[in-house]
Structures are given as C-alpha cells and as structure tokens.
Amino acid sequence: QVQLVQSGAELKKPGSSVKVSCKASGGTFSPYSISWVRQAPGQGLEWMGRIIPILDIADYAQKFQGRLTITEDKSTSTAYMELSSLRSDDTAVYYCAKGDWLAPWGQGTLVTVSS
C-alpha cells in the first residue's frame, strides 16, 4: 500500500519561494492525481492544485494561479509543490494526498514565512 512521505519543515523569508516534495513509498502515483492541500494555523483545509501524472497535466485553484507550480518526477515517484512570492499568510502545513477522494495523505510539511 502506497504511503506518501513529504520533505521537512521550511523557514522562508517573505518574497521567496518554497519547494516541497512528496514521495510515494511502496508504490506509484499512477494513474491517480496528486493534490496539494494546505492548512493555516487553527484553520480548515484548502485545496491548492493537483497534477495528473499519466497526462502530465496540472491545474490550480484560481487563488494560486501564477504563484503555484506542481510537477512530478515519474522516475522517482515524487511530486513537487513550489509556491513563490511567499507572504506571511502562506504560513501553513502543506499536505499532499492521492486521488479524488484523498487517501493516503502525506504527513504534512510546515512552511513558516517570517522575516
């Protein structure tokens, strides 16, 4: 059964970028999509975007258009989420998750944006 393992916590300055990885362990993503979901401190879940590896297609929530890039490396079964022009309100835990109904989830990556 596939598990999703994410990269570690990040501390970033406002205006910089962050790239978080999500590696499938014990299997591959295919043929499912991989979504990225974030959760600000004390808040709910917010879907950011997804990639469909077998189609090499990514799409993004309108809110993140132009700032978010989701990619994947099929050779290593790893998906990446890169968010640019970081602001303090991007401070959140970022999760990857597989499929339309999301399971499994990665363990989460805390991204802190602070000067």
Partner 1 sequence: EIVMTQSPATLSVSPGERATLSCRASQSITSNLAWYQQKSGQAPRLLIYGASTRATGIPARFSGSGSATEFTLTISSLQSEDFAVYYCQQYNKWPLTFGGGTKVEIK
Q: Closer CB to partner 1, residue 10 or residue 46?
A: 46
The C-alpha torsion from 27 through 29 and 34 to 40, rounded to 10°, is: 10
Asked if 102 touches partner 1 (CB under 8 A), the answer is: yes
Q: How far apart are CA 100 and CA 73, in angstroms?
A: 20
x/- string (CB under 8 A) for partner 1, residues 29-48? ------x--------xxxx-
Tokens representing 66 are 């132009």
Helix (H) or strand (E) holding 90: none
Q: Considering the complex, what minimum distance in angstroms separates the CB of residue 32 from partner 1?
A: 12
Which residue in 8, 41, 62, 115 binds partner 1 (CB under 8 A)?
62
Span of 10-18, 22-30, 80-88, 95-103 interacting with partner 1 by CB under 8 A: 95-103
CA atoms within 13 A on the CB side of 45: 11
Asked if 8 touches partner 1 (CB under 8 A), the answer is: no
Three-state secondary-structure class, residue 72:
strand
Q: Considering the complex, what minimum distance in angstroms separates the CB of residue 3 from partner 1?
A: 11
Tokens representing 19 are 């790239």
Q: List interacting residues with partner 1 (CB under 8 A).
A: 35, 44-47, 50, 59, 61-62, 95, 97, 100-108
